[in-house]
Amino acid sequence: MAQTKKACIVGGGTSVFGVRAASIFDMLQEAANAMSKDIPGLKPKDIDGLIFASTTAGRNSNSLNTAPIVAHRLGIKPTSICVRVDTLCSGSNTAIILATGLVESGISEVVLVTGTEKLNLPQRWESTFMNLYTNDHDWDSAMGLAVPPPFFGMIAQAHMKKYGTTKEQMGAVAVANYAYGFNNPMAQFSGKTLSLGDYMAARTVCDPFGLNDCCPVTDGASAVIIASEERAKAMTKRPLIYIRGTGQTASHGMSAGWPGETLADWPHLKKAGEIAYKAAQLTPKDIDVAQTHDCFTISEIIEVEELGFCKKGEGGAFVASGQIKVDGQTPTNTDGGLLTVGHPYGATGARQAIEICKQLQGRALHQVKDAKFGLTHNLSGVCAQHTVVIYGTEPVK
């Protein structure tokens, strides 16, 4: 089908992220409520498509085939699409790619992308145990690979060895993102400050990570509207924000298929970025603000390299020299990122999209001056999949 329409992000909202006394359906309704305040006048009947992102809904919340239940709880009666996507940490960013395709092709007009996870279970052991089921179960998980810190710890060791990245440089990511998240009322670590001294003194999680190198275990939900240009215009008085390009790569589900020479090299992210930049008719230099997947401090360092904001191997120096701060070259994770907002897998991509939407509309908490182009990125699994979406105040010509 030929592309006939342009897709826009209209706005969105999130629940409070954190250790929540709430179910996934409670939090999805909270996110819908927040979204309705962000897009005044938006009603459930305006929406013809629903793409729901959650990986753990079937397990942690005992809810398989969840999309029709979500539609019911949110008062939506989809006529073009009603589906759940399960791509772990990139769930709602994947859903945004799908929604874009459906809107551009004319199949859908107004799509609600909403994502959630309930990761804090009644007992802590089960939150850890559940993670065994998010990797290749029979091959990697049976080795004890559950929660991500050990794997990303080895990634950090490899980057430190190959490129000379230091603990202080990783600390620069944590300090910057805590500063961004401090006044984000929806963040799990809202109101928390972090100095480099605090960071260096934090208790060890696994070598070389301390507590502040790792994103927390988070419950939360988010919701955004992806609509055709015509419908978006009718829905909001704010500047239209267009989805210009997307890319998603999946190179391996299991560790034996790792695509890089070392764990410090992520060619599959580089590829996802290149595909998205080409579609968006932009280069890394054009990106005014980015939301990258800072599940760990080292992740953000490798991402700024592979996404082309700096040279490969220079990510540590790039972040430590302040280039990710609001007045730097590429302000990154300006709402606090995964490190402080938290990371309920399926909710994260849409949460990032909301921040980029606000930045490009000139209404972000930490506003980047004259931001025209923004990028979101997620990784998922054992760094197996990379998802990139590029937004702009103008569509691709």
Partner 1 sequence: MAELKTTQIVGNPHLEGKYIAEMDMWPLEDPALNRLYPFYDNMKQSRWTTTKCKKCGYISYPPGVACPNCWSDELEWIDLPRTAKVVGMTETLAGAPTGFDSPLIIAWLGFDKAHPLKHLLVRIINCQAGQLKIGDEVKFVTFEVPAHPMDVKKESKTCERVYYAFEPIKK
Residues that bind partner 1 (CB under 8 A): 125, 128-129, 131-132, 136-147, 150-151, 153-154, 157-158, 206-207, 254-256, 258, 262-263, 382
Pick between residue 206 and residue 365 the one whose CB is nearest to partner 1.
206
State the nearest-atom distance from the C-beta of 212 to partner 1, in Å: 17
State the nearest-atom distance from the C-beta of 341 to partner 1, in Å: 23
Pick between residue 241 and residue 384 the one whose CB is nearest to partner 1.
384
State the nearest-atom distance from the C-beta of 96 to partner 1, in Å: 29
State the nearest-atom distance from the C-beta of 178 to partner 1, in Å: 24
Pick between residue 253 and residue 362 the one whose CB is nearest to partner 1.
253
State the nearest-atom distance from the C-beta of 385 to partner 1, in Å: 17
Pick between residue 141 and residue 321 the one whose CB is nearest to partner 1.
141
State the nearest-atom distance from the C-beta of 145 to partner 1, in Å: 6
Pick between residue 48 and residue 140 the one whose CB is nearest to partner 1.
140
- List Cα–Cα distances, 168 to 60, 197, 209, 214, in angstroms: 37, 10, 11, 15
Pick between residue 133 and residue 311 the one whose CB is nearest to partner 1.
133
